[in-house]
Amino acid sequence: MSTAPSSKKILIVEDEKDILQLVKLYLEKEGYRTVAAMTGTEGLRLVKSERPDLVILDLMLPELDGLEICKKIRTARETALLPIIMLTAKAEEADTVVGLELGADDYVTKPFSPKALVARVKALLRRVERSQEEGPPRYLYGDLVMDLAKHEVTLNNREVPLTAKEFGLLEHLLRNSGRVLTRDVLLNAVWGYDYYGTTRTVDVHIRRLKQKIPLLNDAIVSVKSLGYKLKERDG
């Protein structure tokens, strides 16, 4: 059952006052509750204290930029799945790509139509709701099947024994298929934000996954200086 828009809280982090007020106005006209920040530091504080349902995040901000905020949101377990729409200027295209790699769900280029932004917000929240309603999913990747309800991975209908960390790592890769995930993001998502090991741990577990599931040898690619990506695949 869908939740009414009025129950959804949107955090807007934008240092241009006119844009901030315009976005706020259009969202509130649609029944959303809004909270706002004009600096990166304040935005990150509100992510933690207000627990918004979605963040609209400007790329260029004073004190802490949008990329750094996006990274911090994605590496904290309690906010790892928080939907993020990034606002960028056309000249910041390269940074937009990095933002998507760090985990932003969508981006809008300035100047933009407030109505179009609200439509993106609605679409992203609907996608999140559908995902939550469907419950624990099954991930299919060729002949590989991950069943979260059974906590089981099979390849060609034969179960593959994985440790808890290997299972968590594979789940995160499958859930973000096609997206570059940094070692820090993987480390914090699977081992936890308070884990004090090194990112070398991720490399070791990726190697073990490839040994246990040969299908992943070519499917998981290393992205230089960043991390890993599971190639997108149909089925």
Alpha-carbon gap, residue 110 to 82, rounded angstroms: 23
Q: State the angle between helix axes of 93-101 and 66-75 in degrees (0 to 180), rounded to the nearest 10.
A: 10
CA 138, 97, 186, 11 dihedral sign is negative
102/169 same-domain check: no
Judgement on whether residues 38 and 153 belong to the same structural domain of the protein: no
Does 70 share its domain with 13?
yes
Residues 83 and 158 reside in one and the same domain: no
Asked if residue 13 is part of any domain, the answer here is: yes
- 74, 158: one domain: no
**Mean pLDDT of all residues in 31-35:** 95
Q: Does one domain contain both 24 and 71?
A: yes
Q: Look at the chain and report how many structural domains it folds into.
A: 2
Q: Is 235 within the bounds of a domain?
A: no
Evaluate the omega torsion of the peptide bond into residue 83 and state whether it is cis, within 30 degrees of 0: no
13 and 126 share one domain: yes
Q: What is the pLDDT of residue 135?
A: 57
pLDDT score recorded for residue 197: 62
Q: pLDDT tens, 86-120?
A: 998 866 666 767 777 677 888 888 889 999 999 99
Measure CA 18 to chain center: 28
Mapped to the 3 state alphabet, what secondary structure does 84-124 carry?
Answer: EEEEEEHHHHHHHHHHHHCCCCEEEEECCCHHHHHHHHHHH
The answer to whether residues 117 and 9 belong to one domain is yes
In which domain, by residue range, is 57 found? 5-134
Q: What is the CATH number of the domain that holds 101?
A: 3.40.50.2300
120 lies in the same domain as 150: no
> Which residue carries 């504080």 as its tokens?
45
Residue after which a domain boundary falls, among 134, 149, 175: 134
Same domain, 159 and 207: yes
Q: What is the pTM of this model?
A: 0.62
Q: Is the pLDDT of residue 219 over 90?
A: yes
CB 76 within 8 A of CB 50: no
Cα distances from 31 to residues 4, 7, 9, 107, in angstroms, run: 8, 8, 10, 22
Which of 193, 226, 198 is CA-nearest to residue 67?
A: 226
**Three-state secondary structure of 196-208:** CCCCHHHHHHHHH
Domain check: are 79 and 153 in the same one?
Answer: no
β pairing state of 9-13 and 33-37 = parallel
Domain membership flag for residue 70: yes
Most confident of 123-132, 168-177, 187-196, 209-218: 209-218
Question: Does the pLDDT at position 179 exceed 90?
Answer: no
Of the residues 134, 163, 190, which one is the last residue of a structural domain? 134
Q: What pLDDT does residue 141 have?
A: 92
Given 113, 134, 155, the domain boundary residue is: 134
The overall average pLDDT reported for the chain is: 86
Write the pLDDT tens digit of every residue in 119-175.
999 988 988 787 666 655 688 999 999 988 788 999 999 999 998 889 989 998 998
Same domain for 123 and 65: yes
